[in-house]
A and B are shown apart, each in its own frame.
Chain A
Amino acid sequence: MKKILENNVLESEAIYIFREVVAQFENPVLLFSGGKDSITLVRLAQKAFFPAKIPFPLLHIDTGHNFPETIAFRDKLVKELELNLIVRHVQENIDNGTVTEETGKYSSRNSLQTATLLDAIEEFKFDACIGGARRDEEKARAKERIFSVRNDFGEWDEKNQRPEVFDMLNGRIELGQNVRVFPISNWTELDVWNYIDKENIEIPSIYFSHLREIFERDGLIWSASQHVYRDEDELVEKRKVRFRTVGDITCTAAVESEADSIDRIIEEIRASTLSERGARIDDKRSEAAMETRKQQGYF
């Protein structure tokens, strides 16, 4: 039997984008959060350059408010694939006074990450930052280009974006500017899960159903953690939950779930009436929460 490659349109598109990044930029980096989307990016990058190693480092912006499971997973992946990992800490920006920790009931370090990210871009002179954002996640992200230009301050000028015609990517920038690159722009949440399933990609345990100490606020399930502010009348209980997205522990809500395998997760998402970012506390701040953060340089 003749061995004929079966083309996966979305996978080939992502690989094409990775190769354009390496060809067009001097100093790219992959923004790695430990979530399923950035883990998928790592697999796609492997495929794009095999048998050569992934030709750029990973950058993790550590808020200090992580799920411990994610950090353990990150370190294992880096070791197995012999990746070059750079970690920069939000705590440093707090300590040197460039950002101020939020206070109060909804305090989170989510938006503080932007300053740390921009500092790291300047420190290492990164000209392309590859991220796992998808257009189906959120309406402001639906307006993103695949190569999205940021000015010297990391800002997104959403009203004046470069036209992205055909499949041609124009990565020309001035010194000091950088481009955010989104290889899985056209993937949906289900596409990512189906890919993880097909490729047997390992993911952190918090994506699967587990028993966790939680409390309820505003109809969302919050993790009981030393990093999450909790009122006295917000009672902690144990419930079977899992996470659909993985961000900072202070801004990622859990969903009740029995899904303990990829198959069951896919089944659950198919039947779900709640969107993926419906459990992102950071998006709930206002109708334009994402657009505002992106303008300031958020990923």
Chain B
Amino acid sequence: MEVLKIATAGSVDDGKSTLIGRLLYDTKSITTDKLEAIEKSSKKKGYDYLDFSLATDGLVAEREQGITIDVAHIYFSTNKKSYIVADTPGHIEYTRNMVTGASTAQASIILIDARKGVIEQTYRHFFINNLLRVKEIVVAINKMDLVNYSQKIFDEIVGDFKELQRKSEFKDQTIKFIPVSALWGENIANKSEAMPWYTGETILQYLEGLRSEDFNEVTPARFSVQTVVRPKSESHHDFRGYAGRITGSSFKVGDEVTILPSLTSSTIEKIHFFDEEFEEAPAGSSVTITLTDEVNVTRGDIIVKSGEAPEGTKSLNAVVCWMDMKALQPGTKYILQHNTQNMAVKIDAIHENISTDYSGNSIVSSLKLNDIGKVGLKLSKPLFADAYKNNKANGKFILIDAHTNNTAGAGFII
């Protein structure tokens, strides 16, 4: 079945949890016992409505404070698709969690409270979705019931959002505006009767209609080797296969390939998946490839089609979202993980801090937790990466603090 990964961001006040609860409820993905548990907890807290956040805020600390702190993953499905929702907090102090949640998303739902319109938080959500180049955005204008289902208010908010859209550098994106009331289930899975002026799709209809071409990008094929399969058994004595996951586009048997960083060439002999062989394997599939020549290939090497190899470089500029308590300073060293390879890097310069509300960039000397900025890096060996805007899969990296082993930052190569 087709899988669609969605990110949502927002605070409890936006009705984000209610919206997710609605999607679960209307697709019959929430079971009676879970519903009863929510009812019981809602009553105990003295609410006269069902507080769906109690189902998604999985940690005691979150339920105590009534806020989402960490990313939760929620699942629902229809006959057409399986949906994986990364539910993230919306406040500025949780920017890293928003980036984390959106980093695997193919579509995003941005919530706007119809009474408040486009606010600073909307800017930030939109900015992060653009940074990550999420192609499909649903802007759900919620709480329409509290503004008398006014078309005028809806239109104004759409107008304001389109203003914002003009500031974005990422143009290959589809934005769909839908007026909803999550509380009453209007235009979530079922059409609202209170808004006859809106003749478009409900949120679920829209998501159901998305095809994988809409949310996946086609880019040059890349194959980062994870591990070498050498059975050394009698029946497979000379077998040497390269295991990894294909990104970008498909590989075929007979493709002439170049192995990076050694720049040696070979040809794809066979594509194995478990006990079968295939002539072609698509992007996204985890396969084992054998080559016609005995070449030296190890973990971290990248196999690409000859003529499509990215340039190797020992210095690069990237946008970095900082995720660590210890600020990022020029001159410090980290471990850079680019898909399956690791290398030492030195922070050469911090060029500027990018404000997530489109208010302009500022010159800074360090990046603090939740800051996003432009950074120059010096690498210990050549990296064969793409720019993130040309190839998401081969244009991203993480920075690891060698002393704490923590994932300290996420990077997007410029």
Contact = CB atoms under 8 A, between A and B. Distances in A.
Interface of B is mostly: mixed
Given A47-B273, A52-B231, A143 B72 contact: yes
Contacts of A23: 226-227, 299, 340
B362 interface: no
A186 B282 CA distance: 21
A172 B400 contact: yes
Interface of A is mostly: loop
A51 interface: yes
B58 A165 contact: no
7 contacts: A10-B82, A47-B274, A50-B274, A52-B230, A135-B75, A170-B405, A274-B32
B32 A191 contact: no
Interface string B1-28: 1110000000000000000000000000
Contacts of A191: 82
Given A51-B236, A53-B231, A12 B100 contact: no
B396 interface: yes
B286 A19 contact: yes
Nearest to B401: A172
A136 B405 CA distance: 28
B227 A188 contact: no
Please list the 9 inter-chain residue pairs (A to B) with the smallest Cβ-Cβ separation, ordered nearest first. A139-B58, A15-B286, A52-B231, A172-B405, A273-B32, A278-B33, A275-B31, A19-B226, A12-B286
Interface string A14-35: 0110011011000000000000
Contact of A166 (B2, B74, B239, B410): B410
Interface string B69-92: 111111101000010100000000
A164 B286 contact: no
Contacts of A168: 337, 339, 396-398
B308 interface: no
A170 B407 contact: yes
Given A9-B284, A20-B340, 17 more contacts: A12-B285, A19-B226, A46-B274, A47-B273, A52-B230, A139-B56, A142-B56, A162-B407, A163-B410, A166-B103, A166-B398, A168-B337, A170-B405, A170-B407, A172-B400, A273-B31, A274-B31
A274 B34 CA distance: 8
Contacts of B77: 188, 190
Interface of B: 1-3, 31-34, 37, 41, 55-61, 63, 69-75, 77, 82, 84, 96-97, 99-100, 103-104, 226-227, 229-233, 235-236, 239, 243-245, 250, 271-275, 277-288, 299, 323, 335, 337, 339-340, 396-398, 400, 405-407, 410
Given A50-B275, A163-B410, A275-B31, A142 B74 contact: yes
Contacts of B407: 162-165, 170
A170 B227 contact: no
A226 interface: no
Interface string A184-203: 01101011001000000000
A269 B32 CA distance: 13
Interface string A57-82: 00000000000000000000000000
Contacts of A16: 226, 245, 286
A254 to B, nearest CB: 15
Given A9-B3, A174-B405, A185-B73, A287 B41 contact: yes
B300 to A, nearest CB: 9
Interface in A242-293: 272-275, 278, 287-288, 291
Given A168-B398, A170-B398, A143 B32 contact: no
Nearest to A292: B60
Of the listed residues B37, B233, B407, the one surrounded by the most CB atoms of chain A closer than 10 A to its CB is B407
A139 B58 CA distance: 4
Interface residues of A, number: 61
A103 interface: no
Nearest to A161: B70
B274 A7 contact: no
Contact of A165 (B33, B74, B103, B278): B103
A52 B337 contact: no
A105 interface: no
A4 interface: yes
Contact of A3 (B226, B229, B274, B279): B279
Interface in A115-146: 135-136, 138-143
Interface of A: 2-7, 9-13, 15-16, 19-20, 22-23, 46-53, 135-136, 138-143, 158-159, 161-168, 170, 172-174, 185-186, 188, 190-191, 194, 272-275, 278, 287-288, 291
B59 A159 contact: yes
A22 B286 contact: no
Contacts of A186: 73, 75, 84
Given A5-B271, A50-B275, A143 B71 contact: yes
B32 A19 contact: no
A165 B100 CA distance: 5
Contacts of A158: 59, 70
A3 B272 CA distance: 12
Contacts of A172: 335, 400, 405
Of the listed residues A6, A10, A165, the one surrounded by the most CB atoms of chain B closer than 10 A to its CB is A165
Given A50-B272, A135-B73, A278-B31, A19 B398 contact: no
Nearest to B226: A19
Contacts of A194: 1
B103 A19 contact: no
A6 B97 CA distance: 33
Given A12-B285, A163-B323, A272-B31, A4 B71 contact: no
A190 B286 CA distance: 22
B280 to A, nearest CB: 4
A159 B281 CA distance: 40
